[in-house]
Structure 1
Amino acid sequence: MPINHRFASVLLAAALAGCATTATQSTGGTSVVAVAPYQETIELSGRLQVTYQKDGQPGSTNGGFEWSQRPGQIDVAFLNPLKQTVATISVTPQQATLTEAGRPPRTAQDIDSLSAQALGWSLPVSGLRDWLQGYATAADGKRFIASPSNNSVYTKDGWRLRFVSWQAGANGTQMPRNIMAERNAGANGGDLAIQIILDPAA
């Protein structure tokens, strides 16, 4: 499998962004349940599918992933259908490292540079850390907090983000289950569509 097919989902998962702690938001004066408070330390797993255009040709990739996040570091494993680790990525404020079995590690100063090296086209690495927990930066620069009744936003970096379905979180909150992100990247690499389906919360 070509490298851009094997590592798209791994690189998607490594995004460094800010945090938020609000679990409710107001709509028309009525408080509605939204996502759980943002967590700096969290472990998630699931599957994702990416469809894209590169050099005018369509492509796609899919696979499982395991995400481990703590202050100052993110570790992601990309899994094949047999649940075997195909590749891992580790991101710190200093550098990002991509490792594939039987190949030397690839490093870059940040995940944006690494994704460009490995794939040749850009991924929404600045947003995914937020998206996986139901947060985003809206087009107007404000913090977006998703909920089942307020589940769509255009982000500051040009993505249409939809939280398609939800699952129960702790203390009556909700957590994303199915996330769709779409962007027309134009001359910078063509259209991109990302679907993330998270495993049920523990």
Structure 2
Amino acid sequence: MLRLKHALAAVPLLLLTACATTRAPVRQPGDAVTLGLQEQRERSLADTDHWTLQGRLSVSDGKDSGSGSLTWRQDGERYEFTVRAPVTGRSFRLVGGPDGADLEGLEGGTRHGADAESLMAQAVGWQIPMAELKRWVLGLRADAGPADIAFGADRLPSRLVQDGWTVDYKQWDAMRQPAMPSRVFAEKAPFKVRLSIEDWQLGR
């Protein structure tokens, strides 16, 4: 297995958190109003399966950590997930869809796997819940079973707990309609995934 510190330059998680402007830690249980707004939001974004986000990604398994710039293109069921290391300039690209996933750019050539999540874990050592994350980054509940959701004072999701993961929405871009997450931290001990989103493009 190619470990994190060999795949990308190891960079402390503070790289993302030091410059992030976080929301006040207000977490209110969902009520009729906030849950109704969330359901409305989920209906409006239900068919949003063509989008691109750009930003930074940081991951940790409790021992090793890695970080880099991220471009994630979602085209229906197909995706392209490109990470570029900040210091070494090395990068890898994960592409695929229902027929499996390919990981390019690592020593030893392209790796193929049945799905993105298991391929990333085996080849790079990164535990990223790819199937669920593509909904969580939009501020939506995934199709992974029951979810507990709490809201901030702005009535936008503040924390989502689903499939053993805790997803904290640290910041939203409220200038967009609908508002879109700009800081998303997901954790399932000992694993951590942190996204700092600089730009959203919705649609083809």
Q: Which amino acid aligns with 1:4?
A: L
- Is residue 102–residue 110 contact of structure 2 (8 Å, CA) maintained in 1? yes
Q: Give the match for residue 40 of structure 1.
A: 49
SS for the counterpart of 2:121 is helix
Asked if residue 194 in structure 1 is aligned to residue 200 in structure 2, the reply is no
SS for the counterpart of 1:135 is coil
- Cα distance change, pair 152–142 in 1 and its aligned pair in 2 (3 A): closer
2:112 to 107, 112, 133: 107
Q: Which amino acid aligns with 1:153?
A: L
- Cα distance change, pair 145–92 in 1 and its aligned pair in 2 (3 A): farther
1:166 to 152, 168, 172: 172
Alignment of 1:77-96 (within 5 A): 77-81=82-86, 86-96=91-101
- Is residue 99–residue 105 contact of structure 1 (8 Å, CA) maintained in 2? yes
Q: TM-score scaled to structure 2, two decimals?
A: 0.69
Separation (CA, whole Å) in 2 of partners of 1:179 and 1:69: 17
Separation (CA, whole Å) in 2 of partners of 1:145 and 1:133: 16
Which stretch has the larger CA shift, 174-183 or 111-120?
Answer: 111-120
The C-alpha deviation readout for 1:129-164, integer Å capped at 9, x for no partner, is 111111123886259697743321211x20111111
RMSD: 3.3
Q: Give the match for residue 161 of structure 2.
A: 154
Q: Which runs of 5+ in 1 are unaligned?
A: 8-25, 185-190
Q: Which amino acid aligns with 2:50?
A: T
Separation (CA, whole Å) in 2 of partners of 1:158 and 1:133: 19
Separation (CA, whole Å) in 2 of partners of 1:126 and 1:137: 8
Separation (CA, whole Å) in 2 of partners of 1:102 and 1:138: 35
Query: What is the percentage of aligned positions where both structures have the same residue?
Result: 22
- Is residue 137–residue 144 contact of structure 1 (8 Å, CA) maintained in 2? no
CA-CA distance at 1:32 after TM superposition: 4.2
Q: Give the match for residue 4 of structure 1.
A: 4
- Is residue 79–residue 95 contact of structure 2 (8 Å, CA) maintained in 1? yes
Size of the aligned set, in residue pairs, is 172
CA-CA distance at 1:99 after TM superposition: 0.4
CA-CA distance at 1:88 after TM superposition: 0.6
Q: Which amino acid aligns with 1:198?
A: I
The C-alpha deviation readout for 1:51-82, integer Å capped at 9, x for no partner, is 223xxxx1111111101111231011111227
Q: Which runs of 5+ in 2 are unaligned?
A: 9-29
Q: Which amino acid aligns with 2:45?
A: P
- Is residue 173–residue 180 contact of structure 2 (8 Å, CA) maintained in 1? yes
SS for the counterpart of 2:141 is strand
The C-alpha deviation readout for 1:1-31, integer Å capped at 9, x for no partner, is x642436xxxxxxxxxxxxxxxxxx843466
The C-alpha deviation readout for 1:95-118, integer Å capped at 9, x for no partner, is 100001664110012123312321
Separation (CA, whole Å) in 2 of partners of 1:41 and 1:145: 27
- Cα distance change, pair 146–177 in 1 and its aligned pair in 2 (3 A): farther
Q: Give the match for residue 141 of structure 1.
A: 146
Q: Which amino acid aligns with 1:37?
A: L
